[in-house]
Amino acid sequence: MQPAFHYQESQFARAFAILRDAVVQQAFPGAALAVTHSGALIASQGFGHFIYDSSSPAVQAATIFDLASVTKVVATTTMAMLLYERGLLDLDAPVFELLPEFISNLTSDQNSERRRVTIRMLLDHSSGLPAYLKLFESTRTREEMLRGAYATPLVAPPGSKTDYSDIGFILLGRILERVARESLDAFCRREIFAPLNMQQTMFNPPIDLEAAIPPTEDDRTFRLRIIEGEVNDENCYVMGGVAGHAGLFAPATDVARFAECMLRGGAPIFHSATVALFTRREAFPADTSRALGWDTPSQPSSSGRHFSPRSFGHLGYTGTSLWIDPDHQLSVTLLTNRTWPDRASQAINQVRSLVHDAIVEAL
């Protein structure tokens, strides 16, 4: 992927102005943007600072951010794609066959429903598991956290509705580790990040990188410190920083390399048929916008008004997003730390769609 952003300031003046204004309005302290089009990196720019203080470090295009739930697609879903393509993962296999703990120590009525949950349902968020639980409040180790996830009650019949679930992806991450017989972080580092030259993409950044990563929160309720260079998500933190739902750190430029892999039909790590399968919107439940791991545009969409129906993307709680449009051969990576200092700002919701619209209109 060759850079071609000599004229980015003029071509994307409106998109850049939206981001600079968002910093001024304190939607987030800083942001990094990377745009690829037709195989080239055409925009790569940092905005603002690490915190709301002009003396703090300026965000650069290569600044590393906590990706939060973008982990679900760049790491976990991609690992599932590779294992599926190698014939090691059956998408319609019941979860309990790979994770017996999912049905252990439960009543027969509960087990009857849980036996119907499949790997596909974890990927497309139709498993019936709840969106989120503060398991970190009652657990202190990775194994305790996993036991809490195994025992989480369903809140809807499997396959009946879409309910975006962190718990489902915690379970999926554990299943993939068992299938691969390797940890999520080790597998992804060797099979995804290294082949795509994503040199600064990692779980658990080393301590010498902490000061080079924007803080996500001044946590005054759980860890009682500024969260910088360690995962913001508390459940992932208790799991040691490596989980199926969160934990990955990367610069926008690395995420753009991953996006270009998807736009190339998966080359060089998997086949185009696998990309098509995982990024196509599921037919059921009837009202879903979800693909396998990925989301697709549904109005109003964070991807804005112009991304094609075949587009796919994902958001992250810390203020991150990745949207990919195969029809326009376009990807937009936007990384921010909108959770600084206290998670209160929701302005990122408006900023994302405005930025995406401005970029497409500039092209």
pLDDT of the residue at 111? 77
Whether 164 and 84 map to the same domain: the answer is yes
pLDDT tens digits, one per residue of 250-263? 999 999 999 999 99
C-beta separation of 262 from 313 below 8 A: no
Minimum mean pLDDT among 8-22, 101-115, 287-301: which range?
101-115
Domain that includes residue 297, residue range:
2-70+249-362
C-beta separation of 278 from 290 below 8 A: no
- Report the C-alpha gap between 87 and 92 in whole angstroms: 13
pLDDT of the residue at 299? 84
How many Å from the N-terminal Cα to the C-terminal Cα in the chain?
Answer: 18
C-beta separation of 8 from 45 below 8 A: yes
Cα torsion angle, 17, 21, 27, 32, sign: positive
* In-domain check, residue 195: no
Whether 164 and 266 map to the same domain: the answer is no
Domain-ending residue, one of 163, 185, 207: 185
pLDDT tens digits, one per residue of 205-222? 999 999 999 999 999 999
Strands 40-48 and 2-3, sheet pairing: parallel
pLDDT tens digits, one per residue of 77-86? 999 999 999 9
Whether 12 and 99 map to the same domain: the answer is no
* In-domain check, residue 345: yes
* In-domain check, residue 238: no
The pTM (predicted TM-score) of the whole model is: 0.96
* In-domain check, residue 204: no
How many structural domains comprise the chain?
A: 2
pLDDT at 2 over 60: no
pLDDT at 6 over 60: yes
List residues bridging with 334 in a β-sheet.
33, 321
Whether 32 and 122 map to the same domain: the answer is no
Q: What's at 322, amino acid-wise?
A: L
pLDDT tens digits, one per residue of 320-341? 999 999 999 999 999 999 999 9
* In-domain check, residue 92: yes
What is the domain-level CATH number for residue 302? 3.40.710.10
Confidence band for 104, pLDDT divided at 50, 70 and 90: confident
Whether 283 and 356 map to the same domain: the answer is yes
* In-domain check, residue 194: no
Whether 253 and 322 map to the same domain: the answer is yes
Whether 255 and 356 map to the same domain: the answer is yes
Whether 6 and 64 map to the same domain: the answer is yes
Q: Which two tokens stand for residue 337?
A: 């730390």
Domain-ending residue, one of 185, 205, 227: 185
C-beta separation of 139 from 238 below 8 A: yes
- 261-278 as b/e, with b when 16 or more CB fall inside 10 Å? bbbbebeebbeeebbeeb
Whether 65 and 83 map to the same domain: the answer is no
Whether 39 and 79 map to the same domain: the answer is no
Q: What is the 3-state secondary structure (H, E, C) of the chain?
A: CEECCCCHHHHCHHHHHHHHHHHHCCCCCEEEEEEEECCEEEEEEEEEECCCCCCCCECCCCCEEECHHHHHHHHHHHHHHHHHHCCCCCCCCEHHHHCHHHCCCCCHHHHHHHCCCEHHHHHHCCCCCCCCCCHHHCCCCHHHHHHHHHCCCCCCCCCCCCCCCHHHHHHHHHHHHHHHCCCHHHHHHHHHHCCCCCCCCEECCCHHHHHHCCCCEEECCCCCEEECCCCCCHHHHHCCCCCCCCCEEEEHHHHHHHHHHHHCCCCCCCCHHHHHHHHCCCCCCCCCCECCCCECCCCCCCCCCCCCCCCEEEEECCCEEEEEECCCCEEEEEEECCCCCCCCCCCHHHHHHHHHHHHHHHC
Whether 331 and 261 map to the same domain: the answer is yes
pLDDT of the residue at 3? 64
Domain-ending residue, one of 155, 185, 215: 185
- Report the C-alpha gap between 100 and 34 in whole angstroms: 42
* In-domain check, residue 236: no
φ/ψ of 296, rounded to 5, equals -130, 160
Whether 32 and 88 map to the same domain: the answer is no
* In-domain check, residue 209: no
